[in-house]
Amino acid sequence: MNDTARRWIERHPYLEAIASFHDAMEAAAAAAELPRAPLPALDGWAEDFGRGVPLLLSDAAGLRAAPALGEAVRRLAAKAAEAPIPEKLRERLGGLGEELAEPAARARTVEWLVRGGDVGAPENAGLVRFVGWTALARALGPAVEAAAAWRNDDTWNRGSCPTCGALPLMAQLVPAEVGRRRFLACGQCHTRWKHRRIMCPHCANEDANRLAVLEVQGEPGLRLDVCDACKGYVKTYDGEGQEALLLADWPTLHLDVLAGERGFERRGASLYDLED
């Protein structure tokens, strides 16, 4: 844990358990020597991109079936089973690692992770989702960077992630030549993309009278952008320099509680529902 995260935990001691789990999984991912996915066929993705098909759901891009993705999940599950986390989770991860020894099981798991939904969900779905996307985000790193350099976010102009199709939980406002520019952040694959300031990414509501900002007492630089049309929200970092921490979802789980108390619902993809 770096100094910035340590200071954050000192201010938010109720996050210490989830921070310890997060650190253990990060260490396992670093030690697992996860393979990297090949670069996507971006020219092949071009037509699908224009139709709003995310990179991982485009057959023409050729990423979803890459063996490296399933192998990355298997390696992380096996390594995480040795991590200093609760024994119950280690046992489940060990079982997952053994199951993923079969190529067909790896392919099914990746397909479920990418497609989402409850149909065909594996046992311990929340844990599989967490481990799976923790591994996939790293395996896809070079592919995501290549796609970001290629794509035109003004053309995409969607609230869903251009890489995996998930809805965002986080956003960031950064200075621009005029005003500030808004970037959405995916909690699954870690992709960031430009999006309109005055629009709900979940339901595309543009009525400023039904969009609002909830300031969070004691949390400078953080706020909740809420939508009265769909009752969704986006946790927003209104600053620069702490992106690695404040766009990672887990440090602001208390804001999800606050949003729920105000009648808003989490619609973005979070990896921290481990019990489903």
CB atoms closer than 10 angstroms to residue 32 = 18
- Left (φ > 0), alpha (ψ -120 to 50) or beta: where does 179 sit? left
Continuous H helices in the chain: 3-11, 16-31, 42-50, 67-80, 87-99, 103-115, 125-139, 141-150, 153-156, 243-246, 253-261
- pLDDT at position 118, please? 59
Give the whole-angstrom CA distance, residue 273 versus residue 261. Answer: 18
Q: How confident is the model at residue 273, as a pLDDT?
A: 76
Task: Give the pLDDT score at 122.
Answer: 83
Residue 119, pLDDT score:
61
What is the pTM (predicted TM-score) of this model?
Answer: 0.92
Neighbours of 98 (CB within 10 A): 14
CATH class of residue range 154-261:
alpha beta
- The CA distance from 116 to 123, in Å, is 14
Below-70 pLDDT ranges, the chain: 117-119, 274-276
Kindly report, residue by residue over 168-217, the tens digit of the pLDDT.
989 999 988 777 899 999 999 999 999 999 999 999 999 999 999 999 88
Where are the domains positioned within the chain?
13-142, 154-261
Predicted confidence at residue 157, as pLDDT, reads 84
